[in-house]
Amino acid sequence: MTTIASTLAICSLFFLLSIAFLITFLIYLLWKHNYQNERLFDVGVKPRGSCDIAILIPEPIPELMYQCPSDPPEYSEAARASPLPSYDDVIYCDQVARSFQNLISVK
């Protein structure tokens, strides 16, 4: 009877030690996984006084890739496309405005 009890005690001790080892190994794997994930987010550490501040860099903003389908126009062609009025247009509008002022002042 004592041999069965001692054998059972040895088996239970081996079983408990193996479970304790597996739990310790799982805790180590979880800690290692968590540490590696944190290192993916921390790009650099900048010391400031007595404490360290983790600097996080956001993901880059996607840039639009645009290529002009044709060559830009020459200066002579682009001059007519200016949003500013030409000198002749300004003089003409000034003359029209003066003529309307003359009509108003005649009354």
Per-residue pLDDT of the chain (107 residues; tens, 9 = 90+): 678 788 888 899 999 999 999 999 999 999 988 877 766 555 555 555 555 556 666 677 767 666 767 776 666 666 566 667 777 888 888 888 888 777 766 55
pLDDT at 26: 95
| Cα distance between residue 67 and residue 15, in whole Å | 70
3-class state of residue 80 by DSSP: coil
Provide the pairing of β-strand 51-55 with 44-48: antiparallel
pLDDT at 72: 67
Residues 6+ apart with CB under 8 A from 56: 41, 42, 43
